[in-house]
Every structure is written in C-alpha cells, then in structure tokens.
A = this chain, B = another copy of it.
C-alpha cells in the first residue's frame, strides 16, 4: 500500500512539465526514503534524476519498495487537471496495475480522482558516482533559460567556459557568432539573483543546445540553477525542489572535431 500526500501539489505538476518532453516512459521508485525517478531521454543522450524526499510529504506511507512504470505524457495530462492550490495524493494498492492521483481543492469542495494504468518498463538503475567538479556555477534559473533560448536562435551548440571572473556561453551559426559573459556577482539584493562561481581549474565544454533548452523546462521549480562542470564528465544541471529534493539533468559534452573552429575565446 502506497499513499503519498503532497500539500504543495503544484510541485508535482511542475516536475512533470519539466521532464515529460525529455522522457516518454519511466519507472517511479518509491521507498521509505522518498519518491524518485531515473531515466534516459528517448535518444539515450541525457539522463534525468528526480528525488522527492519522504519528509517533504505531509503523509508518506510506502509499505514496501515499489517501482511504478508510467507514461509521463499521460501522467502530465492527469496532473494538469489538478488546480495549482490543490493537495495531491498518489495512491496504489499492493499488486495493483493502476495508480490513483487524488486532487483536493483547498476548500475541500472539489475532490477528483484520476486512475491511470501502470506499464512494465525495463530499466536498469545507473549508479551515479559522486564526482569532483572543476567548476560549479550557481546562477538565476531564468537567466540560464534566457541564455539557452537566445543562443539557440543563432547556433546548435553552446561552449560553456568558466574562469574566476565569470562564465561565458558561446555559439556559432550560419548568421554569425554570439558570446554572453556573466560576471561573478554576489552583491545582489536577493540571494537568488547572485551568480556564484566555485572553480578549481578553468574548464571549457561544448553541449547540444537542444538538450540544454529541454532542461530549462524545470525553471518554474527553482529560482536558481547549479551547473557542475568537469572535462570528460557529463555536466550536471540541477534544480532544487524546495526542501524536498531536486531534479538533475546529466549531459555528456560534445567532442570537438575541429578545435580551431569552435575554440572558446575566454
């Protein structure tokens, strides 16, 4: 028996909006510690890892570990029917092949339950080792989304280059080139507006903008985003979910075929 009651139901709505375009079908894993998901995107290039810790739920009952295969588009359709202020409860009976989403309006005058068929999905859980990163950039999530969107109007890939002074996002396309530099900046009115760079050594890596733009669908979940970079490691783009957990996106850097053409000019 599973029963997870989330007062801030809009979080779950936003989580689904963040990942449904990247991942078609996935297993949600429930255990005593939390509600989590790990899945490759359909082209097997990017990895999504979601964690909602049990402490974040008003009520969290999970009698035994359970893996529930869901079509994320269908799940998103159902969650869209929840109001933004609704309490959402996820329920499943032992051995059942369905999951139920219950939505309660704040006044309790409207109660909805949506029942969805579960799917059998083969998946192997990848162990993601803790790694040391050359550079970690924390910046406003809306700014990162804006930059990825802007650069995608010019080129297909982004070179992210980090130095102590700042982080540079560059691209090149048929119509020209673009460089956007953000300076390290911690003297801001609101802490979430800061751009903070922790750097052990300079790093410059190239990524497909298509995936970066897909990751920024998680922007409504958090005011800030953290980008962790190391040469020859996948970048981690992390959005914290208020006091509950995170969504992390992993993407391998592109290997440059022509160094001269796309060499970053920090």
A178 lies within 8 A of B114 (CB): yes
Contacts of A7 in B (CB 8 A): none
Q: How far is it, in angstroms, between the C-alpha of A114 and the C-alpha of B179 when the chains are bound?
A: 6
B176 lies within 8 A of A74 (CB): yes
Contacts of A195 in B (CB 8 A): 109
Q: How far is it, in angstroms, between the C-alpha of A256 and the C-alpha of B75 when the chains are bound?
A: 28
B181 lies within 8 A of A110 (CB): yes
A116 lies within 8 A of B175 (CB): yes
B81 lies within 8 A of A112 (CB): no
The answer to whether residues A181 and B112 also contact, given A78-B176, A117-B176, A175-B71 and a CB cut-off of 8 A, is yes
Besides A81-B178, A113-B179, 17 other CB < 8 A contacts? A80-B150, A80-B153, A81-B151, A81-B153, A98-B176, A109-B183, A110-B181, A111-B180, A111-B181, A112-B178, A112-B179, A112-B180, A114-B176, A115-B176, A115-B177, A115-B178, A116-B175
Closest 7 CB pairs of A and B: A81-B150, A116-B176, A74-B175, A112-B180, A114-B178, A109-B185, A115-B177
